[in-house]
A and B are shown apart, each in its own frame.
Chain A
Amino acid sequence: MESWENMISFLRWLGKLLKHMTAEPTGALLKPGDPGYQEAHTLTTNLDKNIKIITEIFGLSDDLMVRGMKIGRGKKQVRVAVIYLDPLINHTRLQQGLMHCLQTIDHLPSMGVTTEWLINNALSDGRVIEKKSFVEITDEINRGAACLLIEGLDQALLIRLAEKIGRAVEGPVTENVSKGAHDAFNEDVRTNIALLRKRLHTTRLAVENLQIGELTKTEVKLVYLKGYVIEGLVDEIKSRVRRIRIDGIVDSGQVEELIQDSAFSLFSLLDSTERPDKLAANLLEGKAGLLFDNTPIAIIIPGTLINQIQSPEDYYQRYWFSSWIRVLRWLALLTALLGPSLWIAIITFHQELLPTELLMTILVTREGVPFPGLVEALIMELSLEVLREAGLRLPQTFGQTISIVGAVVLGQAAVSAGLASPGMVIVVALTAIASFVIPTQPLSNTIRILRFPFMLLAASFGLIGIIVGFSILTYHLCSLRSYGIPFLSPLAPLSFGDLKDTLIRAPIWKMLFRPRLIGYREPQRQNPDQRPHPPSRKGKKFIRRRKQ
C-alpha cells in the first residue's frame, strides 16, 4: 500500500514538473488579447523610445545592430532607424534593397512620410510587411528581417532580408536510389517547399504555416493537395499540431512522437522521408505532409506499413523488376524478423524438419559449443547490434576497421574458439543483411527490436511460440490506425484493387485508381487504356505519310 502512495506522489511530482516545464516563462511578453497588451506593446510615435524598447527586449545581444539615419533632403529630413540581427542578414541585399534606397530618396511627400509611401516609392525589395506590435516585430527580426522605424510613425516596416544559411541541396543520405532524382530536403524549409513546388506545379498545392515551440518558434509547413487530400485530415493534423505546447523542438522526430496515434506501439505510424519526389508522390495519392525548418526529414501523414517497405525507386524501374525486388523485400523482412528465432526453434525443438545431411553437419559443428541455442543466438545478435551502432557513430575512416574487426573477430574467431557454431554465424549475418534491405529506418529499427522477443518465444515454445508471437504481432498491426487509415491497409482490411501496388508493383498504366482508403476523393488517376500498343490503322497511315 505504501508503495502505491509513493508511486502516486511520485506521479504528482512528475505532473508538476511537467507543468512547470511547459508553463510560460514569467515576465515574458504578454500575448495579443491579454489585458494591457495594447498599451504596453505597440509602437509609439517616439522613435527613440521604440528603439530603446526593442534593444531592451533583446537584452544584451551583441549582434543586434541599430543604425540611425536621416532620409530626404534639406529641412524636411526625417529620422529613421534600421534594426537587424547581424548574422541573419544578407548584407548585399540590405545594402541594395534598403540602405541604398533610403539614402537616395530625394524629396519627401508634403503630407509627411507614411509607410505606404515608403513601400510604393522608396523600397525596392519586395518582401516588406507592416507591423505594429513589439512581439511581431521582434519575432520578424529574429527570423532575419530588418526593421525600419520611422520618426513619428507608430508602424514599422519589416523587410525580410534573411541570408540563406546552411547547405545547398544535396543528395539523400538514408534513402539512396540508383535511378531517380538525387536531390533531398535540407535544413531550410523554404528550399524544401521550393523543391516540392518544383514537382507540383499546381495551384492545388496548399502550403499552410504552423508553428511549434514557445521558444524555438519552429516553422512548420503543412502541405497537401486541395481537393485530393483525405477529408478531415488537414483539420486533424492542425488540431494535433496546435495542441503541442512545448518549449521547443529541434527535429521532426520529436513532433512525430507528439502527433502519432498509438503512442506505445513499436511501429512508427507516420512515414518520414528526405526525398521530395517521395513526398510529392504521396501528396498525389491524397496524403498530407509536414515540412520543418531545420530538419531535412519531412513527415508523411498518414503512414502505412506498405509505404514503409517501399522505395521510390520501385516506381522508376521496370515493373517486373520492381515486383521481384518487392517480393525479395518481403522475404528479407521475414528473415530479419524471424531468422534467428526460426533457427533456434529448429535446432532445439524441431530437428525432424531438417534434412538428414544438414542435421549431420549441424550436429558436427555444434559439437563443443558450450551454450544452448538461445544463448548462442543472443550473444551473436547482441554483439552484432553493438557492432552496428559502433559503425554508425564512428567517423567514416574507422568504419572499415569496425567491419574487419566484426567480420574476423566475431565471425571467424568465435567459431574457431568454439563459442558459436558456423550455422548460427550464417544466420545472424543473413539476418543483418536482410535488415539492411528494408528501405526505411524506423521499420528496420522496429524489426531489430522485435527479433529478441521472438527469439525468447522460440526458445520456450519452438515454432508454436513463434506463431503465437506472430499472431499477436499481426493482431497489433491490424489494430493500428494512422489518422483513421488502417496501418496495414490495403492488406487488412483488404482492398483487392490496391494489391497491385503492395506485394508487387503493377505497370504504371495499370494503376488507374488511387488507393481506395486514401485517394477516394478523386479516385481516378489516369486515362484508362494507356498501355502502349501498336499504332492503329489510322496511326500507321500517318506514320507512312510522314516517312514519305
Chain B
Amino acid sequence: MLDQGRISSVQLFLLLVIAEAATAFLYAPSDVIKMAGRDSWLTSVIPTISGLVVAVVCIALAKRFPQQVFTEYLPQILGKIPGKILAGVYTAVFIHLSSVIMNQSSAFIHVAFLRETPLVALEIIIGLASIYGVYLGIEVIARQNELVWPVWVLSIFIIILLVAESINPDNFRPFLEKGIMPVIKGSALFSSFRGEVFLLLMLYPYLNKKEDVYKSAVYHLLTTAVLLGIITAAIIGVFGELIPVYMVFPIYNLARYISLARFVERIQILIVVMWMFGVIVKLAVFYHSAAIAAANTLGLKNYRLTLLPILAGTIIISRLFYGDHLSLTHFLSHIFPYYGPVVELVIPALVLLIAVILKKGGKS
C-alpha cells in the first residue's frame, strides 16, 4: 500500500456516494429520460441490484488481499507479466475515466457559466485542486468529502423543496405507458454509472474496520438510488418527460426555474457550487486510484510522482477525444453502458474466479 491513510466506514460510504452522484446528478437524468420517459425515476431501482452485484464481487476479491489494492495483487493472482499488463490496463481505465469526468466538469462550466474561458484553463485549475487532494492522500480526500457533503445535501434539499410547488403529478401519468422495456433500457444506462462502486477495489485497504465494508456499500447504493431517483422525479414532475429530452443539464434548468415569491430566484448558483465541490472530490478519488495503479504498474515507491503526468494526460485525452459535446454524450450513452460493466464487473469477476481456483490470497 503506497498510501498509509486510514478511512472510516462512514467516510468510505460518503466517498462512494460522491464518486458516483457528483457527475451523475447533472448528466444522467437527461440521457435516462430520453430512454425511459416519464418512468425514469424507476431506473434508479434496478441498477441498485446490479451495483450490489458489483459490490459483492469487488468486496469478495478485496477481502482476499485486505492490505493491498487491486493493481497491487493482480500480479500475485495472474502471474507477473499478465498481472502487470492488467494493472496497466486498469491504470489506463482510471486515467480515461478521470478524463471523462474532467471533460464533463469543464463542459458544464463552459456551456452554462463561463463561455469565453478556454476549457483547458478550466481543466487545469480543477485538475490542480484535485491533485492537490491526491497529493495529500486518501485520508484528506475523505475528510474534504465530509465537508463537501453538507453543502451537497443541503443544496439538493433546497432545490427540491423550492420546486416542490411546481411539480405537477399529472406528469407521471400514464404509468409505464410503453411497458417496462424502456425502463430496463434506461436502467442499463444507469447501471454503468452506478457500477462505479468498483472503486472499492482501490479503496478497501484503507478502511479501518474492514467488517463494515458491506454496510458502507449497501448504504451507498441505497443513498445514491434515493438521491438520483428524487432528482429525476423532480425534473419530470416540473418539466414533464418531453422538455428534459431537449435539455443538456435538466437539473440546472430546474434550479434556474425556481422562483419563490419573486424573491428567491437565480439560485442556479447552488448547482454550480455543488458541482464544483463534488467534482473536485470525485476527480480526486479517481486520480488517487489512477496514481496508485500507475505507481504499482511501474513499481514506483511514491505514487505522488505520477500525479502531474496523469493530470497532463487526462487533460490531453479530454481535449483530444471529447472535444465536442457529441463525442462526450456518445460515449456516455452508447459506449459507457458496455465499457462500464466490463471493467466494473466482468474483469474483477474473472480475476476473483481465478483467485478462487488458484487459491490465491486469504479466505474471503
Is B212's beta carbon under 8 Å from chain A? no
Residues in B neighbouring A350, C-beta threshold 8 A: 113, 269
Shortest beta-carbon distance from B89 to chain A in Å: 30
Task: Please indicate the chain A residues that have their CB under 8 angstroms from the CB of B333 in the complex.
Answer: none
Whether A463 pairs with B272 at a CB distance below 8 angstroms is: yes
Do B276 and A474 have beta carbons less than 8 Å apart? no
Q: Contacts of A467 on B, CB cut-off 8 Å?
A: 272-273, 276-277, 280
User: Which chain A residues lie closer than 8 Å to B128 at the CB level?
Assistant: 468, 472
State in angstroms the CA–CA spacing of A494 and B144 once bound together.
10
Produce 1/0 per residue, A343-356, CB < 8 A to B.
00000011011110
What is the size category of the interface that chain A forms with chain B?
20 to 34
A464 touching B122 in the complex, CB below 8 Å, given contacts A472-B129, A478-B136, A478-B144: yes
Contact A355 B265 (CB under 8 A): yes
Chain B minimum-CB-distance residue to A464: B109
- Residues of A near B280 (CB, < 8 A) are 467-468, 471
Tell me if A392 counts as interface (CB < 8 A to partner B). no
Q: How far is the CB of B206 from chain A (nearest CB, A)?
A: 13
Asked if residues A468 and B146 are in contact (CB atoms below 8 Å), the reply is no
B85 within 8 A of A: no
Q: Is residue B143 contacting chain A, with contact meaning CB distance below 8 A?
A: yes
The residue in chain B whose Cβ has the minimal distance to the Cβ of A354 is: B266
Contact across chains for A474 and B126 when beta carbons are under 8 A apart: no
- By secondary structure, the A interface counts as helix
A465-B125 in contact given A353-B269, A471-B277, A492-B147 (Cβ < 8 Å): yes
* Contact yes or no, B8 A493, CB < 8 A: yes
Give chain B nearest CB distance to A517 CB in angstroms: 12
Contact mask A453-481 → B, CB, 8 Å, 1/0?
00000000111110110011011101100
> Measured between alpha carbons, how far is A463 from B133 in the docked complex, in Å?
20
Among the listed A465, A475, A492, which residue makes an inter-chain contact with B146, where contact means beta carbons less than 8 Å apart?
Answer: A492
Number of interface residues of B (CB under 8 A): 32
**B140 pairs with A475, CB closer than 8 A:** yes
Q: Which residues of chain A come closer than 8 Å to B121, judged between CB atoms?
A: 461
In the complex, B226 has a CB within 8 A of chain A = no
The listed residue (B10, B144, B266) touching A474 by CB distance below 8 A is: B144
Decide if B114 touches A464 in the complex (CB within 8 Å).
yes
A462 to B140, CA, bound (A): 26
Interface string of A463-507 (1 = CB under 8 A from B): 111011001101110110000001010011110000000000000
- Is there a chain A Cβ closer than 8 Å to B336's Cβ? no
CB distance from B178 to the nearest CB of A (A): 39
Question: For B113, what are the chain A residues with a Cβ–Cβ distance below 8 Å?
Answer: 350, 462-464
Q: How far is the CB of A342 from chain B (nearest CB, A)?
A: 10
Contact of A479 among B11, B117, B140, B276 (CB under 8 A): B140
**Which B1-55 residues have C-beta < 8 A from chain A?**
8, 10-11
Report the separation of the CA atoms of residues A492 and B7 in the bound assembly, to the nearest whole angstrom: 11
Whether the Cβ atoms of B143 and A478 lie closer than 8 Å is yes
Q: How far is the CA of A475 from the CA of B277 in the complex (A)?
A: 11
Q: Which residue of B lies closest to A475 (CB)?
A: B133
Q: Which of A355, A468, A493 contacts B129 (CB 8 A)?
A: A468
Q: B147 to A468, Cβ gap below 8 A?
A: no
CA distance A175 to B352 in the complex (A): 62
Closest chain-B Cβ to A520's Cβ sits at a distance in Å of 15
User: B132 interface residue, CB < 8 Å from A?
Assistant: yes
How many Å lie between the Cα of A492 and that of B144 in the bound state? 7
- Taken residue by residue from 370 to 405, chain A's Cβ proximity to chain B (1 for < 8 Å, 0 otherwise) reads as 000000000000000000000000000000000000
The CA of A307 and the CA of B125, in the complex, are separated in Å by 32
Which B residues, 257 to 299, have Cβ-Cβ distances below 8 Å to chain A? 265-266, 269, 272-273, 276-277, 280
Q: Which residue of A lies closest to B7 (CB)?
A: A493
A475 to B142, CA, bound (A): 10
Instruction: Tell me, rounded to whole Å, the shortest Cβ–Cβ distance linking A464 to chain B.
Output: 6
Tell me the residues in window 158-197 of chain A with beta carbons closer than 8 Å to chain B beta carbons: none
Given known contacts A467-B276, A494-B10, A352 and B266 CB-to-CB distance under 8 angstroms: yes
Is there contact, CB below 8 Å, between A491 and B114?
Answer: no
Listed from nearest, the 4 A-B pairs whose CB atoms lie closest are A492-B143, A478-B143, A467-B276, A479-B136
Sample (25) of A-B pairs whose CB atoms are under 8 Å apart: A350-B113, A353-B269, A461-B122, A463-B113, A464-B109, A464-B125, A465-B125, A467-B272, A467-B276, A467-B280, A468-B125, A471-B129, A471-B276, A472-B128, A472-B129, A474-B144, A475-B133, A478-B136, A478-B143, A479-B136, A486-B143, A488-B147, A492-B143, A493-B143, A493-B146
Given contacts A468-B280, A475-B136, 10 further A-B contacts (CB under 8 A): A354-B266, A462-B114, A471-B133, A471-B280, A472-B129, A475-B144, A478-B147, A479-B137, A488-B143, A491-B146
